[in-house]
Amino acid sequence: MKNKPTYAVESVDHALHLAQLLQQEGPLRVTDAASRLGVSASTAHRLLAMLVYRDFAEQTSQRQYTAGYLLRPAQQSEAPLALLRRIAVPHLQALTRRVQESSNLVVLVGAEVRFLATAECDQLLRVGDRVGQVVPAHLASGGQALLAEMSGSAIEERYEAHGEVELRSFRRKLRTVRKRGFAINDQLTERGVTAIGAALHQPSGEPTAAISISLPSARFRRDDLRVWGNEIVTTATVIERDLEAGGAPVQSQ
């Protein structure tokens, strides 16, 4: 499992996090960067200035910062990322407290899912922060949950030329996910990590993102799957209510 180093260099971590944000989410102002990192505006400004100096960022005439030429352009999600993050994170934190396992918010980007937020649990052996990482959508629990919402023709168009996906069996798997309400990724994307994911929908009914519970496979028990599944589906429903309410929080225990 990939966890944060014990002796992490915080300034380096902040700079790399900023580079991820610029590449994956688009332009940032100094105040936006400071808010995302939880640092002062002056610290964010110094970090951005260093990224500009090393060609990882550029400053626009509107006093925003964008990805520099050293960062390959990344395909971006069409989901409302800032709104999703703001609404979902408190509910992820509540979910993590209830199940004592880490939880995540992901969005579908092409044939991959990108981790947008993580609420880490307090257990010594745990799945760490995944923010910024991308994994194949057809393997990830959140990705499967989102793909299960698509039509058969959309799945075929997306994966008919994909050498790793056998469409007939994959469509059967997605039908099971759709019927059950959540998907399972048992060590498909990372050895020793199991995840359970469910889709989030916009008020229009369109799937917009997914949430997941991630845990060490050593603690995964089929007997507990119904409890985990109920927890994640319930949390997804509450987040959807908040989205429909335009961001007004619904209390989550």
pLDDT tens for the chain, 253 residues: list them: 556 655 558 888 899 999 988 888 888 999 999 999 999 999 999 999 999 988 889 998 888 998 887 776 555 555 677 888 899 999 999 999 999 999 999 999 888 899 999 999 999 999 998 887 889 999 999 999 999 999 888 888 888 877 788 888 999 999 999 999 999 999 999 999 999 999 999 888 888 899 999 999 999 999 999 999 999 999 999 999 998 887 554 444 4
Q: How far apart are CA 195 and CA 212, in angstroms?
A: 6
Please check whether the domain covering 10-67 is classified as CATH 1.10.10.10: yes
- Which tokens in the block code for residue 200? 């989030």
Q: What is the biggest distance separating any 2 CA atoms in the chain, rounded to whole angstroms? A: 57
Is the full-model pTM beyond 0.95? no
CATH match for 81-244 among 3.40.50.300, 3.30.450.40, 3.30.365.10, 1.10.10.60: 3.30.450.40
DSSP letters for 98-150: HHSSEEEEEEEETTEEEEEEEE--S-SS-----TT-EEETTTSHHHHHHHTTS
Residues of the chain with CATH 1.10.10.10: 10-67
* DSSP assigned state of 45: H
